[in-house]
Amino acid sequence: MKNLLIMIILFALILFSCGGEGSEYKKMEQNTEKTDSAYTPQEKGLYAFFSTSKGEFVVKLFEEKTPKTVENFTGLAMGTKEWKDPATGQKQKKPFYDGLIFHRVIKDFMIQGGCPLGTGTGGPGYKFEDECFIQGPELKGAINDESTAIQVWNFIIVPYAQKHKGDVPDADIKAIIEHAVNKQSVQILMGKTVEYFKTKIGLTEKVYGMALIHPVDYATLCMANSGPDTNGSQFFIVTKREGCSWLNGKHTVFGKVVHGMEVVHAIENVPTASGDKPVQDVVIKQIVIKNIK
């Protein structure tokens, strides 16, 4: 039974790979640093002005949707957040991104930066959780699509199986679980109702699903990671015009380029060597944070 429970949980992770919770966000005061930018955002909000060796681009940050991620990014950019230098082991409190390079560039996909070692292996000396989902609507009624089936699996069936340590007492539910795990598909749930599963397992309280905060679309600024809840300092900007839907829910989306996307594409198109690293360094000279009121 223990092996079945492990398989159930692993399947759940495949279906629903991150579920960061929201947190309170302390509004950033306007950065007093000056830029040479001639661009002035027309909408209120928090912006990151990237000055690079290829030119400037500007990102509008999603501070209300992804407060922890934005707070981390702006704190590192401005030098108000402490981090540990992976090369020396010394704690620092200075602008983190200034002088770093875009160490990984893949045409028609993305550009990636934020590694203090320039290799893709470094970070700020800590990790924090994803912010990919928020609480969605109540799960109820017919299960007519895969998205609803996945949520029923993750928020009704998996907790039930965990409660019983894999030794599921209801024969019908046990058969459904085994079929889904063996087929690696939740299609068997479709055609039934949420109420059917709640009645079967004796669940009376309301159950809510999770809604994706923002898809990994073209021009979005996303956290790079090595798995769920392993965010640090590395980020990437999507250059694929169709977006990267297969990454939805796996990477926190915390901003979008609103000016200078041609500069991002110029970085995207530089010659690269092994490991998709640019032959000639593309440097982040400075990231200035501005709160437009």
**What pLDDT digit, counting tens, does each position of 99-127 carry?**
999 999 999 999 999 999 999 999 999 99
- Do 228 and 259 touch, CB atoms closer than 8 A? no
Over residues 241-267, the pLDDT tens digits come to 999 999 999 999 999 999 999 999 999
Same domain membership, residue 172 and residue 141: yes
107 with 141, same domain: the answer is: no
pTM of the model: 0.79
Residue 187: per-residue pLDDT = 94
115 and 152 share one domain: no
Output the pLDDT for position 178. 92
Q: Which has the closest alpha carbon to 149: 185, 203, 174?
A: 185
Predicted pLDDT of residue 15: 58
Of 11 and 236, the structure prediction assigns the larger pLDDT to 236
Using one digit for the tens of pLDDT, what is the confidence trace for 124-178?
Answer: 999 999 999 999 999 999 999 998 999 999 999 999 999 988 788 999 999 999 9
Considering the domain architecture, whether residues 202 and 74 belong to the same structural domain is answered as no
What is the pLDDT at residue 4? 54
Candidates 97, 91, 98; CA nearest to 125 is 91
CATH number at residue 283: 2.40.100.10
The residue range of the domain holding 147 is: 2-18+133-211
More confident residue, 1 or 231: 231
Cα 57 to Cα 167: distance, rounded to the nearest angstrom: 55
- Measure the CA dihedral 17/69/64/262, to 10°: -100
Q: Which of 211, 232, 254 is the last residue of a domain?
A: 211
Please identify, among 192, 211, 230, the residue that sits at the C-terminal boundary of a domain.
211
Indicate if 113 and 169 belong to the same structural domain.
no
What pLDDT was estimated at residue 10? Answer: 56
Neighbour order of strands in the sheet with 284-292? 102-106, 110-113, 235-238, 220-223, 253-259, 55-61, 45-52, 284-292
CA–CA separation, 28 and 249 (whole Å): 26
Whether residues 116 and 163 share a domain: the answer is no
Q: Tell me the C-alpha distance between 249 and 292, whole Å.
A: 29
Do 204 and 254 reside in the same domain of the chain? no
62 and 83 in contact (C-beta within 8 Å)? no
Average pLDDT, the chain: 90
How many folded domains does the chain comprise? 2
